[in-house]
Chain A
Amino acid sequence: MIRFLVKGLLRDRSRLLFPIIIVTIGVLLTVFLHAWIGSLMSDIIRSSAAFSTGHVRILTKAYAENEDQIPNDLALLDVSEQLQRLQRAFPEMNWACRIRFGGLLDIADESGETQAQGPTFGMAVDLLADNRAAEMGRLNIATAVVRGHLPTRSGEILISDEFASRLGIEPGDQATFLGSTMHGSMTMGNFTIAGTLRFGVPPMDKAALIMDVADAQMLLDMHDAAGEILGYFPHAIYDHSRAAAIAAAFNEPYSHSQDEFDPVMLTLKQQNGLGDYIDMAEGFAGILVTVFIIAMSIVLWNAGLLGGLRRYGEIGVRLAIGEYKGHIYRSMIAESMVIGLVGSIIGTAVGSALVYYIQVHGIDFSSMFENSGLMMNMQVRTRVTAQTFYLGFIPGLFATVLGTMLAGIGIYRRKTAQLFKEFEG
C-alpha cells in the first residue's frame, strides 16, 4: 500500500513537483532574505568596528570623556606592555594600537615656499609592524589604493586621492606635516606620499592621511603611547556576550579607582550609539523576517490547503472503495511532510549555496558606480549562519503540513457522500 501511494506521488507532477517547487521557492526566499538582512547589519557593524570602535576598544577614562577633541595628551601610556598583557589574557583576539590626530599638510615648491596646504585628519595604524596584515585587511587598505603603492618603510604615508589631487601632489612627492605633540608643543615631519586611497566615505576622502603607528609616535612625541587599543574577534565577527565578558574582566581592577588615566575597555555596542542602532536593527530585521516568514507560511499553507481540497474527489473514491478516513488522512499528511521536507531541504540547500556564494564573491555594486577600489565595502555580502539552516523549515515544512492537516479535517467533517458531490460538480 505504501509503495502504491509513493508510486502515485512520484507520477503526479501536480501533487509532487509543483508543490515542491513552491515550497522550494518559498524556503529559498526566506533563507535568502534572512541572510541578506543579517549581512546588511553586520556590514555596518564591520565597517564601524574596522574604522573606529573595534569589537572592544581601550582608552583612558579621560580620553573617553573628551573623545571628540582627540585629546592625545590623555593617551594610553606603556602600550607595548599593555598589548603583551592583553595578548596573553585574550589570545583569541587581535589587538592593535591606533592614534588619531589632526594637523596641516604642507606642500613646498622648489624654493621651499608653501605651494599648497590643507588641514588633514590623520589615522595611525600598523602599516609596517607585524600586525600590518590584520590591520590593512580589516581596513581594506590594499584594495583602496588608487595610485602608487603601500608604504614599505618608515616615512611613507598614504593620503586620500581627492586630497592629493587638491594639493596637486602625486605618489613619490614630499609633504610636510605640521601639528602638535601629545605634550602640546609644535611638531613637524617630512613624509613621502607612497600612494593615494579612495575610502568611499566623504569626510575621509576629503582630507585623510594614514601613517604607520611608529612614525606617528615619533612625530607626536608619543613614545610607547597610543590614543586607543582596539581588539578584534577572529573572522571579524562581533560576539557581544563575549565582548561584554572581556570588558568586564579588563575593567574589574580599575572599578574603584578614581584615576582618570586608568584605561577603560568599551564594547562595540557601548560606542557611538551603536548599541541602540544594533538593537533597533535587530528588532527591525526580526520583524521583517517574521512578517516574511508569516507571509510565506500563508502562501505555503494555502498551497497545502488547495492541494488537499483539490483531492476531495480522489478521497471520496478511496472512501467508497473502503479505505479508512484515518488512513487517508495520515497518508495525506505523510505526503505533505515529504513535500515540505524535500522542498525545505532543496530550498535551504540552494538558498545557503547562494548565500554562501555571495558571502565569498559578493555582488559588487562598486563597479556599477564606477568607484573601483573603495575602502568601504560597496559589496553586498551575505553570511551563512546557523539560522540559515533551520529558518526556512518553518514555512517550508510546518506551514505546508499544517495546511494539509486543516484541509484534511474536511474529510472528517464532511459526509462521505458530500465528498463525491464536490468531485462530480
Chain B
Amino acid sequence: MNPREIVKIQNMSKQFPMAGAFFTALADIDLSFRAGEFTGIVGPSGSGKTTLLNIIGSLDVPSRGSAIVLEHSISDLSHKRAAQLRNRHLGFIFQTYNLFPVYTVYENVEFPLLLLKMPAAARKQAVQEAIAWVGLSDKTDSKPPQLSGGECQRVAIARAMVKRPELVLADEPTANLDAKNSHNILQTMEALNREIGTTFIFATHDDKVINYLRRKITLNDGRVVKDEIASGTAGKKAKS
C-alpha cells in the first residue's frame, strides 16, 4: 500500500507581475508528494525552487492550477486558515536560520507550541525532546548570537520539529554551512524522517544535500525537467 498523498499539485503556474508584464516563475507543475518522503527540489538559482516551497507552505498562492496540501486547497485558504495549517502541520527551515535573537534556544523552540496553546507540562517535555533530537541539550539557555551557524540551524530544525509536523519545508538549509555541519544536520533530519516519519521537502542546489535525497525533482526555468528516484544513502557513506 502506498503511503498517504500529502501534497498534490496539478497544472500549477505562478506568475509575478513585473514592469507591467508578468514573469513566469513556475509553469505547468504536476507533482505529488507522499508521507515519509525525503525529497529535494534541485535546479540552478532562479529556477523557481523557493517559489514552489512557498506555495506548498501556504506562504504564497498559485496563479493558476491547484495545490492541495494536507487536504487544504492553498488557493482557497483565508489568511487565518493558512496560518492554522502552518501552525499545526508544517515546519519551516530557512537558509538564514531566522531565529529570534533575543530568545534562548529553549524559548525559540518553545514559540510554535505557545501559538498552539499547548499546556505547560507537555510543552516543556516536547521542547526538551526536540532539543535533544538535535543534540543541543547543553545549550538550552544560550542565545543565537552565542551559537555557531551549525548550531543555529539545528535550533531551527528543533523549532520546526517540536510540534511534530507532517511536513517540513527546508529552503537551502545548508547554504550557509561548512561541509561538516551540512552533513551533521542532514543526518539529523534523515534520522527524524526515519524515526518519526516526518516528510521533508528541500530546495537546494548543494551536492552534499543531493546525496542524501531519496527522490530528486529537477526544475529549470520554472518547469519540472526530471523527477527521479535517488539512492539516498550518502548518510552511511559519509560516516565511513
Binary contact readout A403-425 vs B (1 if CB under 8 angstroms, 0 otherwise): 00000000000011100100110
The CA-CA distance from A322 to B87 in the complex, in Å, is: 4
Verify if A325 is at the interface (C-beta below 8 Å from B). yes
Q: Which of A321, A325, A423 contacts B96 (CB 8 A)?
A: A423
Report B-chain residues with C-beta under 8 Å of the C-beta of A319: 59, 83, 86
Instruction: State whether A317 and B87 are in contact (beta carbons under 8 Å apart), knowing that A4-B107, A417-B60 are contacts in the complex.
Output: no
Report B-chain residues with C-beta under 8 Å of the C-beta of A171: none
User: Which size class do B's interface residues fall under?
Assistant: 20 to 34
Verify if A85 is at the interface (C-beta below 8 Å from B). no
Verify if B112 is at the interface (C-beta below 8 Å from A). yes
Verify if B95 is at the interface (C-beta below 8 Å from A). yes
Verify if A12 is at the interface (C-beta below 8 Å from B). yes
Cβ distance A414 to chain B, nearest Cβ, rounded Å: 11
Find residues 190-221 in chain B having any chain A CB closer than 8 Å to their own CB: none
Report B-chain residues with C-beta under 8 Å of the C-beta of A417: 51, 54, 59-60
User: Once the chains bind, are B115 and A321 in contact (CB under 8 Å)?
Assistant: yes
User: Once the chains bind, are B84 and A322 in contact (CB under 8 Å)?
Assistant: yes
Q: Is the interface of A mostly helix, strand, loop or mixed?
A: helix
Verify if B23 is at the interface (C-beta below 8 Å from A). no
User: Once the chains bind, are A321 and B111 in contact (CB under 8 Å)?
Assistant: yes
Verify if A362 is at the interface (C-beta below 8 Å from B). no
Verify if B173 is at the interface (C-beta below 8 Å from A). no
The CA-CA distance from A316 to B88 in the complex, in Å, is: 17
Report B-chain residues with C-beta under 8 Å of the C-beta of A313: 98
The CA-CA distance from A179 to B113 in the complex, in Å, is: 97
Verify if A7 is at the interface (C-beta below 8 Å from B). yes
User: Once the chains bind, are A415 and B83 in contact (CB under 8 Å)?
Assistant: no
Instruction: State whether A8 and B88 are in contact (beta carbons under 8 Å apart), knowing that A321-B115, A322-B83, A325-B79 are contacts in the complex.
Output: no
Nearest to B98 among chain A residues (CB) is A317
Instruction: State whether A321 and B102 are in contact (beta carbons under 8 Å apart), knowing that A417-B60, A424-B96 are contacts in the complex.
Output: no
Nearest to B101 among chain A residues (CB) is A12
Verify if A386 is at the interface (C-beta below 8 Å from B). no
User: Once the chains bind, are B115 and A323 in contact (CB under 8 Å)?
Assistant: yes
Binary contact readout B65-93 vs A (1 if CB under 8 angstroms, 0 otherwise): 00000000000000110111111101010
The CA-CA distance from A12 to B145 in the complex, in Å, is: 13
The CA-CA distance from A314 to B111 in the complex, in Å, is: 13
User: Once the chains bind, are A420 and B103 in contact (CB under 8 Å)?
Assistant: no
Q: Which of B83, B103, B117, B159 contacts A8 (CB 8 A)?
A: B103
Verify if A320 is at the interface (C-beta below 8 Å from B). yes
Q: Which of B54, B83, B103, B117 contacts A7 (CB 8 A)?
A: B103
The CA-CA distance from A319 to B114 in the complex, in Å, is: 14
Report A-chain residues with C-beta under 8 Å of the C-beta of B88: 322
Find residues 300-331 in chain A having any chain B CB closer than 8 Å to their own CB: 313-314, 316-317, 319-325
User: Once the chains bind, are A416 and B92 in contact (CB under 8 Å)?
Assistant: no
User: Once the chains bind, are B112 and A322 in contact (CB under 8 Å)?
Assistant: yes
Verify if A242 is at the interface (C-beta below 8 Å from B). no
Nearest to A4 among chain B residues (CB) is B114
Verify if A1 is at the interface (C-beta below 8 Å from B). yes
Instruction: State whether A1 and B96 are in contact (beta carbons under 8 Å apart), knowing that A322-B83, A324-B80, A417-B60 are contacts in the complex.
Output: no
User: Once the chains bind, are B79 and A11 in contact (CB under 8 Å)?
Assistant: no
The CA-CA distance from A317 to B93 in the complex, in Å, is: 10
Verify if B57 is at the interface (C-beta below 8 Å from A). yes
User: Once the chains bind, are A322 and B115 in contact (CB under 8 Å)?
Assistant: yes
Given contacts A7-B103, A321-B92, 5 further A-B contacts (CB under 8 A): A1-B115, A314-B100, A317-B92, A319-B59, A420-B94
Closest 7 CB pairs of A and B: A322-B87, A322-B86, A11-B102, A417-B60, A417-B54, A417-B59, A317-B98
List, sorted by A's number, 15 A–B pairs whose CB atoms are closer than 8 Å: A7-B107, A8-B103, A313-B98, A314-B100, A317-B98, A319-B83, A321-B92, A321-B115, A321-B159, A322-B85, A322-B115, A325-B83, A420-B54, A420-B59, A424-B94
- Report which B residues bind A (CB closer than 8 A): 51, 54, 57, 59-60, 79-80, 82-88, 90, 92, 94-96, 98, 100-103, 107, 110-112, 114-115, 117, 159
